[in-house]
A and B are shown apart, each in its own frame.
Chain A
Amino acid sequence: MTTNTNSQSQSLQDEDLLKQGKIPVIFKVLSFAVLMVFVFTGIANLLPQVEGQAPKDIKVDLGALTMETYIAMGETLFSGKGTCTLCHNNLGRAPDILALNMEETAVERLSVEDYKGDAKNSEQYFLESMVDPSKYVVPGYGKAGEPSPMPTIDKAPIGLTQIEMGAIIAFLQAKDGGEPTVDLPTDAPAVEETVATTEPPKPAANAEEVLLKNGCTACHAVLDSPSTIGPNLKDIGARSSREEIRESIINPAAVIAEGFPPIMPANFADKMMVKELEMVVDFLVASEDSTQTDAPKETEMKGE
């Protein structure tokens, strides 16, 4: 073997290098690898933990809307669904709308010579900035001759509705003490359009709310309702599996419970948010006792 042909000092060193130790190599290497992975994982867990929720659409009662709540809705949209603060902040990516007096800014923009847009007042200017940002690009932003870096707000991915943009305009006009000129939306658009509320958009807080909101109590014995039009749901968890319950709500026609007419509305899947559906299913799975009048308690939202 080569070791024999080498010099004395060399072969000693060779033996040292070849020494395997008591712990098998595989364990040493594995522990080293796992340790490294855990260090990386640890770092990821030490950083600030924030979830980026997708914007949620919730219906708002237009009849009850006041200018005050409309402005508040605009403010929420500005940092929420509109994602305006992503760019409009103090990092120099876009004009710092929250710090600027926007009423004055609008007047200033409309008076400069190379303003080529069609707006005549601040309301129109704000709207134009949102739906056609390249009409006028504030000097110092974007590249000359190219479209504005500002996205078109009424298109995907942001996709605000007319009503929502109106709320933002109201907010921009009011935030520095001005009087909003936008009209309050009436419930004229009978379209199934979804509008953000003044609260941070959220699904129903718990399963009870979903059940009430969707009128399940009208037909089912559930919560405080004694109705017998549909099957009693207080003990459904004992009768049906999670999958069956989910299916019964999404697609009631699939299996008709014996002795009942097939009248359960089929559109709950479209009306409910996914999280709401999951809450109701969780709630019903846990409802195993028909004598119990109180709702089972552990129906809080998973992530909250």
Chain B
Amino acid sequence: MLPNNSLVTAHFVSSIEEQSPSQSGVILHRSMQFMLALIIILSALMLVPDYAWSSDSAVATEAVAEELTDNKPAPVMGPRDYRQIGSMSSRSFVWVIAQLHLFLAAFVLAVPLFVTVIEWIGVKTGDQRYDDMAHEFMKVSMTAYSLTALFGGTLAFSLFLLYPTFMGYMMEVFGNQVMVYALLFFLESGVLYVYYYSWYALRYGNKKYVHLTLGVLLNGVGTTLLFVANAWATFMMAPSGVDDAGVVTGGIWDIMRGPLWNPVNLHRFVANIAFGGAIVGAYAGYKMLSARTMEQRAHYDWMGYTSNFIAVLAFLPLPFAGYWLMAEIYAYSQQMGITAMGGILAWLFIVQAVLIGTILLAANYYLWNGMSRCEGSGRYTWLIKFIAVTLVVSFLIWVTPHTLILSAQEIATLGGSHHPLLGPFGIMPAKNIAVNLMLIGTFLSFQLYRRSDKVITVPWANFGNALMVAIYLVAIANVIFLGVYYGYFTNTVYKVGSSVAQVISTLIVIVSGVVIDTMMFKGAKTLPVKWGQISNRGVYALFALPIAFTWLMALMGYVRSSVRTHWHVYTVMKDNSVDNFIPNIGHAGNMMTVATISFLALVLFIFWVASLGDTKQAKPVSVPAQNPAQ
């Protein structure tokens, strides 16, 4: 048994044995009430969009009359349609609030997704550790949930306050759909609380399956919620179900199902998982560094490893989801596509490369350091320096801008709101080679890591290894050859084609690697893994990952939103506010940093509240002494 005499140990124990509502329960109940109140206010607000904002009665009656015929074009925006809080830029304000809401929402939608999966793994393997970990993840996300609602409410209020006419139009377009959203929010909260608080009540046997079903239901509602909200953003980018003037012509389904809806749905869904995994990874990392006993350290090391695994696994398909989204944007409007990839926003993709490079390097660094957990890893350590060199060189190629050294002056003289200064980065051959090599290198690190605690016993081990090595060599050669040959010696049309072939090579490595390993690991002897035996420096990769993710999310969200240029709703409703320009990258970067640092502060609060529930004050010694029963 574990001794129970220190607070810190009590903390660890309680996370396993916690059966009764603790302090965290009280905090959560309170925040739940707060949140419910907010949602009610919010929903009430959404019921009255059209009438509340028209100050003189003539306009109001007009609004009613037109509501009935249901064909009002998008309003033309003038100074009257914008408000400001003091002299603060409305865009900046909404920018930060929306970003914080999205960070939190991504986190709370993602955690239940992998928690349910982990819970299920726990049932399948009968390994209690999975169940405990799943529960601890949920605990962390509970506080985040109320914060999400708070920021969602604040965002809605600020949008209605600062952009009343725009919001009026959006309400007119989406109509009752927003109430469906509110309803789903109620459902989400209900299921979430039942799921979390019934964890120990429904823990074993058939009851566990009831609990798992709740988890699936929770994720069903959460994902629907996400998709409903996505429709607002994609409508603004590529409106459907309205005519050129913005008059609603279709049903709500036509409005929601615009050309970009599904690509954004997929992209956000996958990215959320990566993001959520990275954040709980940081939680585990932090707990691990502050652990006082080796058990604690081992527990959180394992937790950090699992989270990191989830994050990286979800991260790897993201480029492909991004590729689909970009392709749909080009198909919808070539002009919008070029604005993003080859126009004024193109430089942002340099920053993106830095961030993705950071993420991949951190993931690899973590795996390499983690090899010290297994004695068997000595067999592979010699390979690491080659992977490291490949990664760093590829990274440098990737972040090298295509058209170097154009001064801001030169760019400005090219004129307009779009600048034809950069080639489309996405299909730059050298960069494609680099990206694919980085992905292959990362997968190799992962494969080595997985092998380091195993002694393969299948009779065809040598053949299997040779096959794997051959696949790697062919794929790498293929990636380089395709990039160089098609990239530099043929014209543009084939460049796109070759990048697809390169990606397929990479995918073949990943898929065949997983298949071959699964077959080779049959009956393999496992060497002991000593959780906790990883250098503290290695643990910092667990912080690098979420920081880079958070900033990356802010960046890509900004690009997604900015491709609309000076339109609130692209081609339908012009943005005539003072902020209708695309700010320079430095300003945008500063805004992302403000959002990221604020989020960091919120996350600290969330972690602190989560651990508060585990902290039990020792009973004052004097009390038992005065107790007459003693």
With an 8 A cutoff between CB atoms, is B415 at the interface? yes
Instruction: Known A1-B3, A86-B338, A272-B79; judge A43-B583 contact (CB<8 A).
Output: no
Q: Which residues of B contact A54 (CB under 8 A)?
A: 417, 565-566, 575, 580-581
Most chain A CB atoms below 10 A, which of B291, B418, B423: B418
Residues of B within 8 A of A50 (CB): 344, 408, 411-412, 419, 584-585
- The CA-CA distance from A278 to B418 in the complex, in Å, is 26
List the one stretch of A32-40, A111-119, A121-129, A215-223 in contact with chain B: A32-40
B contact residues around A275 at 8 Å (CB): 578
- Is A145 positioned at the interface, with any CB of B under 8 Å from its CB? no
Q: Is A17 on the interface with B (CB-CB < 8 A)?
A: yes
Q: Which residues of A contact B592 (CB under 8 A)?
A: 40-41, 44
The segment from B20-28, B474-482, B540-548 found at the interface with A is: B540-548
Q: Is the CB of A49 closer than 8 A to any CB of chain B?
A: yes
In the assembled complex, the CB of A240 is this many whole angstroms from the nearest CB of chain B, namely: 16
Pick the residue among A34, A86, A151 that contacts B416 (CB under 8 A): A86
Interface residues of B in 254-297 (CB under 8 A from A): 285-286, 289-295, 297
- Known interface pairs A50-B408, A52-B418; A29-B575 also in contact (CB < 8 Å): no
A10 to B27, CA, bound (A): 41
Query: CB-CB < 8 A to B408: which residues of A?
Result: 48-50
Chain B contacts with A in 467-519, Cβ cutoff 8 A = 491-492
Given known contacts A1-B293, A85-B416, A86-B418, A37 and B593 CB-to-CB distance under 8 angstroms? yes
> What chain B residues lie within 8 Å of A93 (beta carbons)?
334, 338, 342
Contact in complex: A92, B492 (CB < 8 Å): yes
How many Å lie between the Cα of A53 and that of B412 in the bound state? 10
Binary contact readout A66-99 vs B (1 if CB under 8 angstroms, 0 otherwise):
0000000000100111110111010111000000
Docked complex Cα distance between A258 and B344 (Å): 51
Contact in complex: A44, B289 (CB < 8 Å): no
Q: In chain A, what residue has the closest Cβ to B491?
A: A92
> What chain A residues lie within 8 Å of B80 (beta carbons)?
250-251, 269
Q: Which residue of B lies closest to A2 (CB)?
A: B294
Q: List residues of chain A with CB within 8 A of the CB of B615.
A: none
Q: Which single member of A33, A91, A149, A274 contacts B423 (CB below 8 Å)?
A: A91
Chain B interface (Cβ < 8 Å from any Cβ of A): 3, 78-80, 82, 87, 244, 285-286, 289-295, 297, 333-335, 338-339, 342-344, 347, 350-351, 354-355, 358, 406-408, 411-412, 414-420, 423, 491-492, 532-533, 535-536, 540, 543-544, 547-548, 551, 565-567, 570-572, 575-578, 580-590, 592-593, 596-597, 600, 604
Closest 10 CB pairs of A and B: A44-B589, A54-B566, A52-B582, A156-B571, A79-B415, A49-B584, A89-B420, A45-B586, A52-B417, A86-B418
Contacts A/B (CB < 8 Å), 25 sampled: A3-B294, A13-B533, A17-B532, A25-B286, A29-B286, A30-B600, A30-B604, A36-B543, A36-B544, A37-B551, A37-B596, A45-B586, A50-B411, A52-B565, A54-B575, A54-B581, A55-B566, A86-B335, A86-B342, A86-B419, A89-B420, A155-B244, A157-B571, A274-B78, A274-B577
- Which residues of A line the B interface, CB within 8 A? 1-3, 13-14, 17-18, 20, 25-26, 28-30, 32-34, 36-38, 40-41, 43-45, 47-55, 76, 79-83, 85-87, 89, 91-93, 149-151, 155-158, 200, 242, 250-251, 269-270, 272-275, 277-278, 303
Q: A32-B544, A49-B584, A51-B581 are in contact. List 4 more A-B contacts (CB 8 A).
A: A17-B297, A18-B291, A33-B547, A40-B354
